[in-house]
């Protein structure tokens, strides 16, 4: 075993899910690792023993996490808000823009990308994917009208695994003066993203997939320039500033001013535990290196394609290299999927399509076992 392969096997050992399953379901939700479990026990123990006293440590730490996430995507900490999930974030965004703004999204995208906007009264147009799931930039441009003001898409499409070229998409948005909103839930932790380089106006991610942080925490970047032009309308008690914020006395709290940075999206008390666990997971990923994770997963994807060809299994997500992601799809029969279930594989299967979602804890042995079970 080489030093490099030993590195990945040590990482795999942190995920007990493999004691029972061959886990290929990260696209639906990742298991958490032993370091996250240990940190959760530590945090809950502190909370049980100190109560409110934990805040002297927890508040500064979540600000460190905010700064770390912002730095990793080329943003300022003041442009980063904590969210509970992508749907919550998207709902907050709908109130920022006039309902005359036409939204362009993908028909094959997760409903979070367009349902809140339709409900809020925005006209919404949807781009049709090609039969294999590819969505060329030219197809997006064909659907742009004079009224199109916002483009919303997932960096990696949840169903097909198609990965958009953010540089090309952002160039298109810049050409047409369109606001770009990107959902990176299916790519954050695998693919490096620079919001400045890619001219992304808003970036959202929920950390329960490739970040392996568990449920209930994520981040949303909103450019300061956009925020100043289109301030959000939804206020709580936590995202405003009072002239005299002393809650021990009765005073006029009807006088307030919304916060002027991305924290304006944090309406109430933060989900401290979830955010702190997300921070732990992000430190784990940072220690591995996102670039190394990307390269490793790409090597697994290549191996998956090689073995699929060898075993005459059709790859449905056989896109050009720049559009490949950690989400791959194979065409198999219901009978074959039953064989996988019997052998304790965990993966999504619908309409004769098996989704194989590969993360840093998977290895070539998982892929070998997959094709062995399909025979």
Nearest to 85 by CA among 265, 225, 224: 265
pLDDT greater than 60 at residue 1: no
Q: Which residue has the higher pLDDT, 227 or 249?
A: 227
pLDDT greater than 90 at residue 237: no
Mean pLDDT in residue range 49-70: 98
Residue-level pLDDT at 3: 61
pLDDT greater than 60 at residue 362: yes
- pLDDT one-digit tens code per residue, 187-215: 999 999 999 999 999 999 999 999 999 99
Mean pLDDT in residue range 4-24: 95
Domain 39-287 adopts which CATH fold? 3.40.640
With cut-offs at 50, 70 and 90, classify the pLDDT of residue 248.
confident
Residue-level pLDDT at 9: 96
pLDDT greater than 80 at residue 5: no
- pLDDT one-digit tens code per residue, 113-144: 999 999 999 999 999 999 999 999 999 999 99
Residue-level pLDDT at 349: 98
With cut-offs at 50, 70 and 90, classify the pLDDT of residue 250.
confident
Nearest to 137 by CA among 120, 162, 159, 118: 162
Domain 3-27+289-374 has CATH 3.90.1150.10: yes
What's the rounded Cα separation, in Å, for the pair 292 and 296? 6
Residue-level pLDDT at 2: 63
With cut-offs at 50, 70 and 90, classify the pLDDT of residue 252.
confident
Domain layout of the chain by residue ranges: 3-27+289-374, 39-287
- pLDDT one-digit tens code per residue, 297-341: 999 999 999 999 999 999 999 999 999 999 999 999 999 999 999
Q: Which residue has the higher pLDDT, 234 or 18?
A: 18
Mean pLDDT of the chain: 96
**The tokens of 84 are what?**
């509970």
With cut-offs at 50, 70 and 90, classify the pLDDT of residue 181.
very high
pLDDT greater than 90 at residue 175: yes
**For a pLDDT cut of 70, what percent of the chain falls above it?**
99
């Amino acid at each position: 075993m080489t030093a490099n392969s030993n590195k990945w096997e040590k990482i795999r050992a942190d995920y007990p899910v493999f004691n029972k399953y061959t886990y290929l379901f990260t696209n639906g939700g990742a298991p958490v690792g032993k370091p996250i479990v240990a940190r959760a026990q530590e945090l809950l123990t502190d909370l049980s023993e100190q109560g409110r006293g934990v805040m002297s440590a927890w508040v500064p730490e979540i600000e460190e996490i905010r700064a770390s996430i912002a730095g990793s995507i080329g943003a300022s900490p003041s442009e980063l808000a904590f969210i509970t999930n992508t749907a919550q974030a998207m709902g907050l965004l709908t109130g920022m823009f006039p309902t005359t703004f036409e939204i362009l999204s993908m028909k094959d995208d997760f409903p979070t990308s367009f349902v809140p906007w339709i409900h809020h009264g925005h006209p919404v147009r949807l781009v049709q994917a090609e039969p294999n799931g590819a969505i060329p930039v030219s197809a997006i441009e064909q659907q742009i009208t004079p009224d199109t003001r916002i483009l919303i898409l997932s960096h990696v499409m949840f169903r097909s695994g198609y990965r958009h070229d953010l540089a090309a998409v952002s160039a298109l948005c810049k050409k047409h003066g369109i606001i770009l909103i990107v959902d990176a839930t299916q790519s954050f932790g695998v693919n490096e993203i620079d919001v400045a380089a890619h001219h992304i106006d808003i970036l959202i991610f929920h950390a329960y997939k490739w970040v392996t942080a568990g449920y209930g925490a994520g981040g949303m970047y909103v450019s300061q320039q956009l925020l100043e032009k289109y301030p959000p309308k939804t206020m709580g008690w936590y995202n405003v500033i009072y002239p005299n914020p002393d809650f021990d006395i009765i005073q006029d709290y009807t006088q307030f001013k919304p916060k002027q940075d991305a924290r304006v999206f944090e309406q109430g008390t933060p989900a401290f535990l979830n955010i702190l666990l997300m921070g732990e997971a992000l430190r784990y990923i940072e220690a591995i290196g996102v670039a190394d994770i990307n390269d490793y997963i790409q090597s697994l994807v290549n191996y998956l394609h090689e073995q699929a060809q060898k075993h005459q299994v059709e790859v449905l997500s056989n896109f050009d290299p720049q559009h490949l992601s950690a989400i791959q799809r194979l065409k198999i029969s219901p009978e074959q999927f039953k064989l996988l279930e019997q052998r304790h594989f965990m993966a999504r299967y619908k309409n004769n399509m098996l989704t194989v979602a590969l993360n840093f804890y998977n290895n070539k042995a998982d892929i070998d076992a997959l094709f062995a079970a399909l025979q």
